Amino acid sequence: MSTATKDVKREELESVVIRFAGDSGDGMQLTGSQFTSATAMMGNDLATFPDFPAEIRAPAGTTYGVSGFQIHFADHDILTPGDAPDVLVAMNPAALKVNLPTLKKGGLLIVNTDAFTKNNLKKAGYESNPLEDDSLAPYRLLALEITRMTRAAVTEFNLGAKAADRSKNMWTLGLMFWLFGRDRQPTVDWLKKKFAKKPEIAEANIAALNAGHIYGETAELPSTVGVYQVPSADLPPGTYRNIDGNQATAWGLVAGAQLAGLPLFYGSYPITPASSLLHNLAKLKHLGVVTFQAEDEIAAVCAAIGASFGGSVGVTGTSGPGVALKGEAIGLAIATELPLVICDVQRGGPSTGLPTKTEQSDLFQAVYGRNGDAPLVVLAAATPGDCFYMAIEAVRLATKYMTPVMLLTDGYIANGAEPWPIPDVSKLEPFPVKFHEGPSEGFQPFLRRDDGTHARVWVKPGTPGLEHRIGGLEKAADSGNISYDPDNHHAMTKLRAEKVRGVADDVPAASLDQGEAGGELLVVGWGSTYGSIKQAVERVRKGGRKVAHLHLRNIWPLPNGLKELLEGFDQVMVPEMNDGQLARLLRGELLVDAVPFSKIAGQPFRISELVTEIERRLGDAAPRESSPEVRA
């Protein structure tokens, strides 16, 4: 049987945002990721945003058990999973309750009426059935008995009601494939592979998928429900794949270690949303990667430092609470000047906070969060694909400067996926590490290289004649021996700071991502807000305002030339998913009037929120220097 979509007249759309929502047991993440793969294959650019509850199995039917997956795809380059969905799939009343407020008025709403039982309505907090009053009137409602139709589709497999009902996400996916003209075959292949050991389950799911699709083909859908098509995006040519941030970080670390010519060691303790970094790397043993699931966060970082002491690239990955636990050990790596990469996949804090929600609130912890004057390098990745390159950069700086480097990502880009042009690894610039091997005369462990980095030499244990001891006690600059001398401590503290500051000379100077220097307002962002800010600034610029966007990848040290750039603007606005941490860093370091714009809701910025705020700050004042082509 062919799974290709029959020829029908399809309405062309530039871009669509779909949100799949259901109970955590409804398989919405799977549905979303299958829809994503099929969409990528159509040549659309896309961005996704999985949004799931903290509880593994939250009570069924409740609003806090709702799991969502949003995908935004378009015929043009896009950078965010979109603001308000055009299409909402709600598998139960709770999913409707949670997600309806975001659905665009006039948007397509698909609901599974079978789940709208008295009990489920009550659990979701509905007093009356929204399907029966007129509260859904502003939307194009497609109310379907998805459970019943799924059961009918899988009866021949005798699965029992519970197992049969598990296929209803595939039924829904089949219908969505029909509506958006996606190919079913890859999902069919995927199901066969996933359930290779239980072929009857695979077949039942395929039957459900096909039934949903056939329903779309044959049922007389209301005229308000169109079938759509989004032409493929105009992406630069190349070979593409989908990649999420944690996968990209993991692969970037492997690439970085190879470019350094060193083995990679990854020590970690499971923590949301960083665990998939460990999972990804654990699969790469064939590339020589050694992973170690430690007994706790501290053991994970210490083992990584032990591996670095032995001449590997030691890496640990975690989220904010884990970084807090690792603080003392990171200080040791600073004091002993060993390379170390710490990946902090940020989540909502403080304390346990919002484990499955995204936030950028570890910036202060990254830059300042240790005892003593303890500087290290802090980098931030802007998009899922960017994680690959920033992980390489983290390894490069850690090994070149003999310093810990903290790479900040967050739950949003760690779990979000985007089409990624696969780089040619043979074209990546190698940075081979040279271990110090002698002479033993005049050797001391804190001997500095003469390459201007202020980095100490790296000696592998096992090297004859260079036996040495290092530790967390202050050491004399000239001999490396323990020293309590006050002037020496002052000098060593300054030296460690200067070493890290010097990294600024080795990374790109500050530059604008969009716009021209010296305008009305500069939006300074960092990390995962890149896509939203870029598009918001684009929109405001279309209105003729002199707005620019600068996105920081180097958080510490700040890049050269930043102060001058910032000072050239009338206003500097810093949107952050925290209470103004980068803004305060910029104010403190550069003495510029950077004003925060905070969103601390566990959710990424919407483009519209940023546009509104930028316009509010610009006020009604005429553009300071309106450009002629805009005037015209």
Residues 6+ apart with CB under 8 A from 320: 344, 346, 347, 349, 353, 361, 362, 365
DSSP symbol at 508 = P
Among 6, 57, 194, 285, binds another protein (CB under 8 A): 285
Q: Binders of another protein: how many residues, by CB under 8 A?
A: 72
Whole-number minimum distance, CB 16 to another protein, in Å?
Answer: 19
For position 240 contacting another protein by CB under 8 A, the verdict is yes
Residues 6+ apart with CB under 8 A from 490: none
Among 116, 171, 251, 597, binds another protein (CB under 8 A): 251
Q: Which stretch binds another protein (CB under 8 A): 212-220, 248-256, 395-403, 619-627?
A: 248-256
Query: Which of 189, 150, 194, 144 is closest to 169 using CA atoms?
Result: 150
CA distance 43 to 419: 9
Contact 343, 274 (CB under 8 A): yes
Residues 19-38 that bind another protein (CB under 8 A): 37
* CA count, 13 A, side-chain hemisphere, 22: 26
Residues in the chain: 632
Whole-number minimum distance, CB 14 to another protein, in Å?
Answer: 18
Residues 6+ apart with CB under 8 A from 489: 474, 483
For position 235 contacting another protein by CB under 8 A, the verdict is yes
Among 34, 102, 242, 554, binds another protein (CB under 8 A): 242
DSSP symbol at 447 = P
Residue found by looking up tokens 């598009």 in the block: 535
Longest dimension (CA), the chain: 88
CA distance 605 to 276: 24
Could you tell me where the DSSP H helices lie in 269-357? 275-282, 297-309, 320-336
CA distance 253 to 391: 5
For position 332 contacting another protein by CB under 8 A, the verdict is yes
Helix or strand or coil: residue 130? coil
Query: For another protein, which is the closer residue by CB, 143 or 425?
Result: 425
For position 302 contacting another protein by CB under 8 A, the verdict is yes
For position 309 contacting another protein by CB under 8 A, the verdict is yes
Q: Which stretch binds another protein (CB under 8 A): 39-47, 483-491, 506-514, 565-573?
A: 39-47
Q: Is 586 left (phi over 0), alpha (psi -120 to 50) or beta?
A: alpha
Whole-number minimum distance, CB 459 to another protein, in Å?
Answer: 8
Residues 447-476 that bind another protein (CB under 8 A): 460-473
For position 258 contacting another protein by CB under 8 A, the verdict is yes
DSSP string, 558-578: PPTTHHHHHHTSSEEEEEESS
Residues 398-417 that bind another protein (CB under 8 A): none
Among 287, 325, 491, 600, binds another protein (CB under 8 A): 287
Straight-line distance from the first to the last Cα atom of the chain, in angstroms, rounded to the nearest whole number? 57
For position 314 contacting another protein by CB under 8 A, the verdict is yes
Whole-number minimum distance, CB 511 to another protein, in Å?
Answer: 27
Query: For another protein, which is the closer residue by CB, 461 or 508?
Result: 461
Query: For another protein, which is the closer residue by CB, 251 or 446?
Result: 251
Query: For another protein, which is the closer residue by CB, 464 or 628?
Result: 464
For position 231 contacting another protein by CB under 8 A, the verdict is no
Query: For another protein, which is the closer residue by CB, 303 or 550?
Result: 303
Query: For another protein, which is the closer residue by CB, 233 or 618?
Result: 233
Whole-number minimum distance, CB 561 to another protein, in Å?
Answer: 33
For position 324 contacting another protein by CB under 8 A, the verdict is no
CA distance 175 to 170: 9
Query: For another protein, which is the closer residue by CB, 7 or 424?
Result: 424
Q: Which stretch binds another protein (CB under 8 A): 89-97, 291-299, 497-505, 529-537?
A: 291-299
For position 40 contacting another protein by CB under 8 A, the verdict is yes
Query: For another protein, which is the closer residue by CB, 144 or 289?
Result: 289
Which residues of 84-161 form beta strands (DSSP E)?
87-90, 108-112, 140-144
Among 481, 511, 612, 626, binds another protein (CB under 8 A): 481
Distance of CA 610 to the CA centre of its chain: 19
Query: For another protein, which is the closer residue by CB, 340 or 583?
Result: 340
CA distance 507 to 492: 24
For position 438 contacting another protein by CB under 8 A, the verdict is no
Q: Which stretch binds another protein (CB under 8 A): 204-212, 252-260, 270-278, 610-618?
A: 252-260
For position 241 contacting another protein by CB under 8 A, the verdict is yes
For position 446 contacting another protein by CB under 8 A, the verdict is no
For position 284 contacting another protein by CB under 8 A, the verdict is yes
- The secondary element (H helix, E strand) that includes residue 401 is helix 386-401
Please report, for residues 296, 408, 497, 596, the alpha-carbon distance to residue 327 in angstroms, rounded to integers and kept in the order given.
Answer: 13, 15, 17, 27
For position 358 contacting another protein by CB under 8 A, the verdict is no
For position 482 contacting another protein by CB under 8 A, the verdict is yes
Query: For another protein, which is the closer residue by CB, 6 or 460?
Result: 460
Whole-number minimum distance, CB 49 to another protein, in Å?
Answer: 20
Query: For another protein, which is the closer residue by CB, 286 or 616?
Result: 286
Residues 163-192 that bind another protein (CB under 8 A): 186
Residues 6+ apart with CB under 8 A from 550: 510, 511, 512, 513, 522, 523, 524, 525, 565, 566
Query: For another protein, which is the closer residue by CB, 40 or 87?
Result: 40
Other C-beta atoms lying within 10 Å of the C-beta of residue 471: 10
Whole-number minimum distance, CB 89 to another protein, in Å?
Answer: 23
